Amino acid sequence: MFQLFRTSRMWTARPLRDRYDVVIIGGGVHGLATAYYLAERGVTSVAVLEKNYIGAGASGRNTAIIRSNYRTPEGVAFYDESVKLYEELSVRLGYNVLFSQQGHLTLAHADSAINGLRVRAEVNQLSGVESRLIWRDEIRRLVPALDVSDGPRYPVLAALYHPPGGIIRHDAVVWGYARGASRRGVDIHSFTEATGIDTSNGQVTGVRTARGDIKTGAVLNATAGFCSTIARMVGIRLPITTHPLQAFVTEPLKAFLDKVIVSANLHVYVSQTDRGECVIGSEIDPYSSYSHRSTLPFLEHTAHNTLELFPCLKHVRVLRQWAGICDMTPDYSPIMGDVPGVKGFYLDVGWGTYGFKAGPVAGRRTAELIATGKTPDLIKAFSLTRFSDGRLVGEKAAAAVSH
């Protein structure tokens, strides 16, 4: 009987070695997915360094929304591959990540918003992604609890409907990748902070950590919130500002909502988990900060706007609220790839509020880059040099809420 219910450890804690082929800084979904896909390619001398417990940063603090209804052809193709990888992830990892493709609606409360959604629908369709404009009757049918009357200050007029979008269990994704990577020989070192990166003649040679030094020729910066600090260790300044992003969760309720609802105009997004809790978030805080503290003004503002959409939540209690921190780039697209002048240093950063959605594709394509030395076509547009070359990939219009 005991054997039946005995739980085995998800990953193995091994001693920190003094040499690895690849060192990944950041033990969130991006770092762990990269380690997993490197190991799948046979690159197993890999260390993942995480200064806290794994998934303690943005991977454990996001609102777990998955979608690919972006605004640029580059963004749509990239996030579409991520959705496809998420679709097969439970089977690939042998671990249920509870991906619920319940559908995703971005609401429009003004003509200008409808125009923006129409452009996205067309770019999505041209890229083969299911996404279309729908009107009040269909919205009412899909989401009976939503107030689609003329009553609210900003009545709902239309929506971008994206059926493949949905929600996932973010901890399970992190644990599943960690387990898969560890089983293939990757070393995961929690509570191991990177304190410096050594270079010689423009080539990475090692990483210093609070637990000892490591020799390596390849380092990936897969951090969120602290990517500028890590980049500065090799003398690079990233075009990034870091802002808190807050969210809260309600007490569990009987199932009433089986779509992800986003209102950019009201700065709010709402979904209901399998446990019945509503997960509700808003825009990034307007000030730059590394703080994980949540605030009362956020809760008041976001709760108020949620009630404009769902008056039925009026008497519901809030269980808890929290904050994560987001690295924002000027064009709201990530920075991925190698870095001119620092051989062996790779970036997978600048995810703003889109990071969790991209974990599988970013991991898979970054692993391909590190293993082959060739930048995959899918991530070429996200290079650091786009800022000096003037080739921005503007994804602000696809943000869940306008910032």
- The binding site for ligand PYC (CB under 6 A) comprises 63, 65, 67, 269, 281, 353-354, 400
Q: How far is the CB of 6 from ligand PYC (least distance, A)?
A: 38
Q: Which residues of 68-77 are buried (b: 16+ CB within 10 A; e: fewer)?
A: bbbbbebbbb
The residue whose two tokens read 């930048």 is 375
Q: Residue 182 or 263: which CB sits closer to ligand PYC?
A: 263
C-alpha neighbours within 13 Å on the C-beta side of residue 355:
35
As a whole number of angstroms, the longest Cα–Cα distance in the chain is: 66
Q: Residue 70 or 226: which CB sits closer to ligand PYC?
A: 70
Question: How far is it, in rounded angstroms, from Cα 73 to Cα 378?
Answer: 11
Q: How far is the CB of 39 from ligand PYC (least distance, A)?
A: 29
Q: How far is the CB of 355 from ligand PYC (least distance, A)?
A: 9
Q: How far is the CB of 354 from ligand PYC (least distance, A)?
A: 5
Q: How far is the CB of 309 from ligand PYC (least distance, A)?
A: 15
Q: Residue 24 or 401: which CB sits closer to ligand PYC?
A: 401
Q: Nearest-CB residue to ligand PYC? A: 400
Give the three-class secondary structure for 339: strand
**159 near 139, Cβ under 8 Å?**
yes
Q: Residue 244 or 281: which CB sits closer to ligand PYC?
A: 281
Quickly list H helices, 88-163.
89-93, 111-126, 136-142
Q: Residue 164 or 180: which CB sits closer to ligand PYC?
A: 164
Q: How far is the CB of 257 from ligand PYC (least distance, A)?
A: 16
Give the three-class secondary structure for 66: strand
Q: Residue 63 or 366: which CB sits closer to ligand PYC?
A: 63
Question: How far is it, in rounded angstroms, from Cα 159 to Cα 263?
Answer: 9
Q: How far is the CB of 129 from ligand PYC (least distance, A)?
A: 14
Question: Using only C-alpha atoms, what is the Rg of the chain?
Answer: 21
Q: Residue 65 or 172: which CB sits closer to ligand PYC?
A: 65
Q: Which residues of 86-114 are buried (b: 16+ CB within 10 A; e: fewer)?
A: bbebbebbebebbbbbbbbbbbbbeeebb
